[in-house]
Amino acid sequence: MPLIPNTSNTDKRWWKEGVVYQIYPSSFKDSNGDGMGDIPGIISKLDYIKDLGVDIVWLSPFYASPQVDMGYDISDYQDVYGPYGTVDDVKELIQGCHKRNIRIIFDLVVNHTSDQHAWFKESRSSKVNPKRDWYYWRPAKYDEQGNRMPPCNWRSCFGGSAWTWDETTQEYYLNLFTPEQPDLNWENEDVRKAIYDNAMRFWLDLGVDGFRIDVVNMYSKHLPFADAPITDSSSAWQLAVELFCNGPRMYEFLEEMNSSVLSHYDVMTVGELPCTPEPEAVLRYVSSSAKKLNMVFQMDLVTLGFGKNEKFETTEWNLLQFKAFLDKWQCFINGNDGWTTIFLENHDQARSISRFGSDDPAFREISGKMLATFLCTLTGTLFLYQGQEIGMINAPKSWPIEEYKDVESLNFYNHVKKSTNSDEKALSKAHSAIQAVARDHSRTPVQWDSSQHGGFTTGQPWMRVNDSFSYINVRDQEHDENSVLSFWRKAIEFRKNYKELLVYGEFQLCDAENTKTLTYLKVHNDQKALVVLNFTKEEQTFMVPKEAHGQMDLVLSNSKTSSESKQLGPFEARVYLIN
Ligand code: GLC
Ligand code: CA
Instruction: Name the band, by pLDDT with cuts 50, 70 and 90, for residue 86.
Output: very high
Ligand nearest to the CA of 458: 2
Amino acid at 45: K
Question: Residue 404 Cα, ligand 2 centroid: separation in angstroms?
Answer: 20
3-state secondary structure of 467: helix
Question: Residue 80 Cα, ligand 1 centroid: separation in angstroms?
Answer: 18
Q: pLDDT tens digits for 16-54?
A: 999 999 999 999 999 999 999 999 999 999 999 999 999
Whether residue 498 has pLDDT greater than 90: yes
Whether residue 464 has pLDDT greater than 80: yes
Rounded distance between C-alpha atoms, residue 53 and residue 42, angstroms? 16
Do 49 and 97 form a contact (C-beta atoms < 8 A)?
no
Instruction: Name the band, by pLDDT with cuts 50, 70 and 90, for residue 562.
Output: confident
Whether residue 235 has pLDDT greater than 70: yes
Whether residue 533 has pLDDT greater than 80: yes
Instruction: State the pLDDT at residue 381.
Output: 98
Rounded distance between C-alpha atoms, residue 232 and residue 400, angstroms? 29
Is the CB–ligand 1 distance for residue 348 below 6 Å?
A: yes
The rounded mean pLDDT for the chain is 97
Instruction: State the pLDDT at residue 5.
Output: 44
Please tell me the residue having the least CA distance from ligand 1 atom 4.
Answer: 72
Instruction: State the pLDDT at residue 561.
Output: 84
Q: What is the mean pLDDT of residues 488-498?
A: 98
Is the CB–ligand 1 distance for residue 456 below 6 Å?
A: no
Question: Residue 182 Cα, ligand 1 centroid: separation in angstroms?
Answer: 13
Probe target for ligand 1 pocket from 176, 177, 219, 410, with the most ligand atoms within 8 Å of CB: 177
Instruction: Name the band, by pLDDT with cuts 50, 70 and 90, for residue 549.
Output: confident
Whether residue 6 has pLDDT greater than 60: no
Is the CB–ligand 1 distance for residue 215 below 6 Å?
A: yes
Q: pLDDT tens digits for 381-401?
A: 999 999 999 999 999 999 999
Please tell me the residue having the least CA distance from ligand 1 atom 9.
Answer: 348
Instruction: Name the band, by pLDDT with cuts 50, 70 and 90, for residue 2.
Output: very low
- The atom number, within ligand 1, closest to the CA of 109 reads 12
Please tell me the residue having the least CA distance from ligand 1 atom 12.
Answer: 72
Question: Residue 146 Cα, ligand 1 centroid: separation in angstroms?
Answer: 35
Ligand nearest to the CA of 26: 2
Q: What is the mean pLDDT of residues 69-75?
A: 98
- The atom number, within ligand 1, closest to the CA of 274 reads 7
- The atom number, within ligand 1, closest to the CA of 346 reads 8
Is the CB–ligand 1 distance for residue 171 below 6 Å?
A: no
Q: What is the percent of the chain with per-residue pLDDT over 70, rounded to a whole number?
A: 98
Q: What is the mean pLDDT of residues 255-277?
A: 98
Question: Residue 107 Cα, ligand 1 centroid: separation in angstroms?
Answer: 10
Instruction: State the pLDDT at residue 1.
Output: 36
Probe target for ligand 1 pocket from 114, 158, 345, 348, with the most ligand atoms within 8 Å of CB: 348
Is the CB–ligand 1 distance for residue 73 below 6 Å?
A: no
Q: What is the mean pLDDT of residues 344-358?
A: 98
Question: Residue 81 Cα, ligand 2 centroid: separation in angstroms?
Answer: 11
Instruction: State the pLDDT at residue 563.
Output: 81
Amino acid at 319: L
- The atom number, within ligand 1, closest to the CA of 72 reads 12
Do 393 and 387 form a contact (C-beta atoms < 8 A)?
no
Probe target for ligand 1 pocket from 215, 245, 406, 411, with the most ligand atoms within 8 Å of CB: 215
Q: How far is CA 512 from CA 41, 322, 326, 517, in A?
A: 45, 10, 10, 9
Is the CB–ligand 1 distance for residue 254 below 6 Å?
A: no
Question: Residue 54 Cα, ligand 1 centroid: separation in angstroms?
Answer: 24
Whether residue 99 has pLDDT greater than 50: yes
Is the CB–ligand 1 distance for residue 177 below 6 Å?
A: yes
Please tell me the residue having the least CA distance from ligand 1 atom 2.
Answer: 214
Instruction: State the pLDDT at residue 564.
Output: 85
Whether residue 273 has pLDDT greater than 50: yes
231-243: burial string, b at 16+ Cβ within 10 Å, e else: eeeebebbbbbeb
Is the CB–ligand 1 distance for residue 72 below 6 Å?
A: yes
Q: pLDDT tens digits for 125-168?
A: 999 999 999 999 999 999 999 999 999 999 999 999 999 999 99
Do 61 and 67 form a contact (C-beta atoms < 8 A)?
no
In the chain, what's the furthest Cα-to-Cα distance?
78
Residues recognised as catalytic: 214, 272
Ligand nearest to the CA of 302: 1
Please tell me the residue having the least CA distance from ligand 1 atom 7.
Answer: 215
Do 456 and 26 form a contact (C-beta atoms < 8 A)?
no
Is the CB–ligand 1 distance for residue 506 below 6 Å?
A: no
Question: Residue 464 Cα, ligand 2 centroid: separation in angstroms?
Answer: 15
Do 97 and 143 form a contact (C-beta atoms < 8 A)?
no
Q: What is the 3-state secondary structure (H, E, C) of 503-550?
A: CCCEEEECCCCCCCEEEEEEEECCEEEEEEEECCCCCEECCCCHHHCC
Whether residue 7 has pLDDT greater than 70: no
Question: Residue 283 Cα, ligand 1 centroid: separation in angstroms?
Answer: 22
Is the CB–ligand 1 distance for residue 109 below 6 Å?
A: yes
Rounded distance between C-alpha atoms, residue 272 and residue 562, angstroms? 42
Q: Which helix (H) or strand (E) holds 311?
A: none
Q: Which helix (H) or strand (E) holds 259?
A: helix 250-260
Ion ligand 2, residues whose Cβ is below 5 A away: 30, 32, 34, 36, 38
